[in-house]
Structure 1
């Protein structure tokens, strides 16, 4: 059976260099901690998917030399692929090419900001890529995409793209149409990369339904992320009592 590579594209967490848009409300050390939680939870989801036999898990990572710290967050059978140079588009294109060069039938790059991303969406993406040349996308609420999957390299999808703007997803669809590449659009998900999306994460972990998610689509439990949120809330709730005691 041909396998599909499913990879988190990530930066090894470090205070002051990870998830900086989450500060505030988080401190720099908390940003690095939650980044580690996200990577750990996402890789656990991918490992569950890989256990079904037709996918393999990877981290497409930066910086070089951080492998020891990163592997402590990943399942033992995860592969490591160092990110290439250049802007995000060049690194995404190179990541796809590097994974396909390992003999996989397709390659999916997942952002590292979506710890509750349902395994069912990745399952649908894997199956779509085993059916021929196409691009598989899960749109993100901010106008980008949560993941992109290809069965062949298509550099046109990544070149001269206004990254970190709400136009990325629309322009990616336009590029695919221009080159005649079939598109499989899956359910949207969200990235946790600012105060508003962190609040949405808290609400989701509290059991609030997500308006964009179909009924019955099971999110992943994101155990490490959920534990981080609980610890942070507990510490915050203890502050007034400590102040009063003083």
Structure 2
């Protein structure tokens, strides 16, 4: 299913959440325990709803187009029900040609960036699906930085060493090369790749992603950032969540 052309895309920044269809036993498995597989799938669906709604909220303040970068091909009908209305689709299953140095999840990220840029957007960001409370202002800031004249990248790091957003004005394959994905070196390696090609890198305020019991406890106690109503509704139904550690 090819994405529909986005009207007026040439002066916009696309922001695409990396979206997988929420499925019991396959979604947010690192949250089990304390969650059951069914509860983890419900929370995954809520994260997608809130994240895409957050992108659309940011679009009220900056020229932003909301996307879900989905996989695998053919999963559109499983993903779309969990997206905020007005979210476009772009395939990001890692099947597009890429340099041999770009492996694993990096191929999906690169494909998502290239696919959004191919729709005529001036810039494109890939966004984590594990950050339902990310402040909307950071999405607005990313878009404004990228849409200013001159070439640059935008990076928003997570406190676990990964990143929640990476924005580019060109599909720079080298930024996804030789990265040990799902480790605490991802953001640092991405910074190094930008230096290697002389690409200016603007960093946003760090934020946290929710991918284990400790960060789930933090999410449950935290009331900062985006309101994330779908996520809060699911959390209110769950019991037995771990308590957040004292600050």
TM-score under structure 1 length normalisation: 0.87
- In structure 2, the partner of 1:10 is 19
Query: What corresponds to 1:118 in structure 2?
Result: 135
Q: Which runs of 4+ in 1 moved over 4 A?
A: none
Is 2:115 aligned against 1:98? yes
Partner of 2:237: 231
Tell me the equivalent position of 1:170: 188
**Residue 74 (structure 1) aligned to one of 79, 83, 91:** 83
For the pair shown, which has the larger CA radius of gyration, 1 or 2? 1
Q: Which has the higher helix share?
A: 1
Deviation string 1:121-159 (CA, Å, 9 cap, x unpaired) is 010100011122111011001101011000111101101
Does the aligned pair in 2 maintain the 1:90–1:159 contact within 8 Å?
A: no
Q: Tell me if the contact between 2:19 and 2:79 (Cα under 8 Å) persists in the aligned partners.
A: no
Q: 1:167-198: per-residue Cα shift (whole Å, max 9, x none)?
A: 11111111111110001000001110000110
| Equivalent residue number for residue 242 of structure 1 | none
- 1:98 Cα deviation after fit: 0.8
The match for 1:182 is 200
Q: Is this contact kept in 2: 1:19–1:32, CA < 8 A?
A: yes
Equivalences for 1:1-246 in 2 at 5 Å?
Answer: 2-52=11-61, 54-85=63-94, 87-131=104-148, 132-205=150-223, 219-233=225-239, 236=240
- Aligned-pair CA distance for 1:72: 1.2
Given that 2:91 and 2:115 are in contact with CA atoms closer than 8 Å, whether structure 1 keeps it comes out as no
2: CA distance between counterparts of 1:174 and 1:160?
A: 11
Q: CA deviation at 1:77?
A: 1.7
Unmatched 5+ stretches in structure 2: 1-9, 95-102, 242-247
CA contact (8 A) 2:156 2:204 kept: yes
State whether residues 117 and 189 of structure 1, in contact with CA within 8 Å, keep that contact through their aligned partners in structure 2: yes
